[in-house]
Amino acid sequence: MLSLSTTDLLILSGIVFAAWFTHGCIQERRENPNSLPLPPGPKGYPIIGSFFSFPTYKAWLEYDKWFKIHGDMIYFTVFGQGFLVLGNIKRVYDIFERRSSNYSDRPRLVMLNEMMGWDYIFGLQRYGTWWRRRRRQFHDHFHPNVVNRYHPIQIDAARAFDRSVLESPERYKQHIRYTFADSILKAVYGMDVKENETYVGHAGTTTEGLASAGNPGSFLVDVFPVMKIIPEWFPGAEWKRKANEWRYLNSIVANSLWNSVKEQMKAGTAKPCIATAMMASIPDSESPASKEEELVRRDACAVGFLAGADTTISSVTSFFMAMAIYPDVQKKAQAELDRVLSGRLPEFNDRPSLPYINALLKESGRWQPVAPLAIAHMATNADEYDGLYIPKGTCVIGNAWSILHDPEIYEDPFIFNPDRFLKNGEIDSSVQDPNVASFGFGRRICPGRFFSDAALFSTMTHVLAVFDIKPSLDDNGKEIKIKPNMTNGLLSYPEPFGCRIIPRSKEAERLIRNSGLMT
């Protein structure tokens, strides 16, 4: 048996470090022949880099502080893995749009894809053929020229939401979840939410996992992939037990609804929906190619369900919070609706006549972005940009929160102010649209954004047309001040707050109760 003294171990460690350092230097000289400097950033330590200063709690806020010190591009390493964080729209556009061929890949997402089973979600997949095929299938059913086919479903869901809120306003957050789950279940699988509540619960649980693990470094296994071999019974391996639970639920979400539609199609009872359309286009064969085509379509449907059933919840909850904090904005939006609707509920063809409402939707996406850091990209090859060297494999992050709170673009960025997007009573096209950052960047921008935008328009207008949203009252009858705080994670949600949701009038209450007869 080989025995090593302390001196031997030190010498061996030194040799390993020297070999690692030499290899890194040779590779850098080969990829960076002009010896360009790296982008500025916090100073780290040998080997571990910036491990101790690597932000994992509301990292978008910490990066925003770093931008003020180091500039609008920050580079640092953690155990040899490089990270580049971009802090303004110019940097994001130059990197993710103009150089999209080199910055459309994803980093290795160990916790999410390999441990939690999120690898069927094309938004998290590596850039390549598998990603293209799934995204193409999804895009065919959600691009801007076809989303109007889902408008009747979204109108029905918004009116059902109004009725649910009227009956139990204290449960409005649960109603938000079920409203969006219902509309996306009907669109994708032709199913009703009441008959599939279990899957809605699974979607919520798995998305909580996505929010927890989505930002790089949230779990140590992302930094040390070798930790994958740790058994779940090992002390301190709670993270692995969670990963296995999320993986199990992910498998159910990905397979069960698709398989249910398959059985319904065989029985001739399936309702027309995205899943049936996709199934009908699969080559009728038991060949491996046919099974592969089915897998591509199954995954695209699962993405639609998960994105529509849960992630939009943050935007609608933030809207309720904003209306309770900014009553003047609420009154202005209601005045515009009253003028256009004249005592009826909104329809999609009203939208061109509602510039303030459209501005309010833009401000909702800007004020509290759902994904403050979006999803990280990766540099496929080494690059030179603006006189700086970006190493191959660098994890590149666009700080959407900083872009959407840039005071040089949005005056008083922490204030909820739809008027910033208006000029002479119309949308001001010269003001930067929040969509440049709120749905991701470059080729990896969210393809479901058009469906989401329509769902938000329908829900928000139906709420404002018939309800007043106000802060909760304390024991003395005084309004409780709401602090617009958001949770940590890849997906950020408003922290719990109380509000009162009250029908605006007897006529509004009548409209709500009769809305089921209008659809």
Cα–Cα dist 365/410, whole Å: 13
Cα–Cα dist 357/465, whole Å: 11
Residue closest to 166 by CA, chosen among 465, 453, 493, 458: 465
Q: Is the pLDDT of residue 112 over 90?
A: no
Q: Residue 423: what pLDDT?
A: 95
Q: Residue 24: what pLDDT?
A: 53
pLDDT category of residue 427 using cuts at 50, 70 and 90: very high
What does the chain come to in residues?
A: 519
With respect to residue 468, please indicate whether it lies within any of the assigned structural domains.
yes
Instruction: Determine if residue 25 is labeled as part of a ligand binding site.
Output: no
Cα-based distances in Å from 513 to 171, 195, 216, 469, 503: 18, 23, 47, 19, 11
Higher pLDDT, 310 or 189: 189
Residue 38 per-residue DSSP state: P
Q: How many domains does the chain have?
A: 1
With respect to residue 3, please indicate whether it lies within any of the assigned structural domains.
no
With respect to residue 4, please indicate whether it lies within any of the assigned structural domains.
no
| Strands 81-86, 395-398: pairing kind | parallel
- Look up the CATH number of the domain holding residue 300: 1.10.630.10
CA-atom Rg of the chain in angstroms:
25
Helical (H) or strand (E) element with 246: helix 238-267
List pLDDT tens digits, range 1-24: 334 444 544 454 455 445 444 545
478-483 contacts: CB < 8 A, separation 24 or more? 482/321, 482/324, 482/325
Which tokens belong to 359?
A: 């501005």
Sorted by sequence, the CB contacts under 8 Å of residue 234 that are 6+ apart come out as 240
Q: Is the pTM of this model over 0.85?
A: yes
Identify any residues that bridge with 398 across adjacent strands, giving them in sequence order: 86
The pLDDT mean for the chain works out to 89
Secondary-structure breakdown of the chain: helix, strand, coil percentages, each rounded to the nearest 5: 60, 10, 35
pLDDT category of residue 503 using cuts at 50, 70 and 90: very high
Lowest mean pLDDT among 110-124, 194-208, 246-260, 283-297: 194-208
Cα–Cα dist 301/310, whole Å: 14
Q: Residue 135: what pLDDT?
A: 93
Cα–Cα dist 284/291, whole Å: 10
With respect to residue 224, please indicate whether it lies within any of the assigned structural domains.
yes
Concatenating the DSSP letter of every residue in 109-156 gives -IIIIIIS-GGG-GGGSPSSHHHHHHHHHHHHHHSTTTGGGGHHHHHH
Q: What are the strands, taking DSSP E only, across 435-484?
A: 467-471
pLDDT category of residue 364 using cuts at 50, 70 and 90: very high
Residue 473 per-residue DSSP state: B
With respect to residue 32, please indicate whether it lies within any of the assigned structural domains.
no
SS3 assignment for 375-429: CCEECCCCEEECCEEECCCCEEEECHHHHHCCCCCCCCCCCCCHHHHEECCEECC
Cα–Cα dist 484/67, whole Å: 23
pLDDT category of residue 391 using cuts at 50, 70 and 90: very high
- Region of 167 on the Ramachandran plot (φ > 0 left; ψ -120 to 50 alpha; else beta): alpha
The domain in which residue 56 lies consists of: 39-515
Higher pLDDT, 312 or 61: 61
With respect to residue 386, please indicate whether it lies within any of the assigned structural domains.
yes
List pLDDT tens digits, range 26-65: 556 668 888 899 999 998 899 989 988 999 899 999 999 9
Residue closest to 87 by CA, chosen among 126, 41, 37, 44: 41
With respect to residue 13, please indicate whether it lies within any of the assigned structural domains.
no
**Residue position matching structure tokens 């193409």:** 136
List pLDDT tens digits, range 156-182: 999 999 999 999 999 999 899 888 888
With respect to residue 22, please indicate whether it lies within any of the assigned structural domains.
no
Which tokens belong to 76?
A: 């640092």
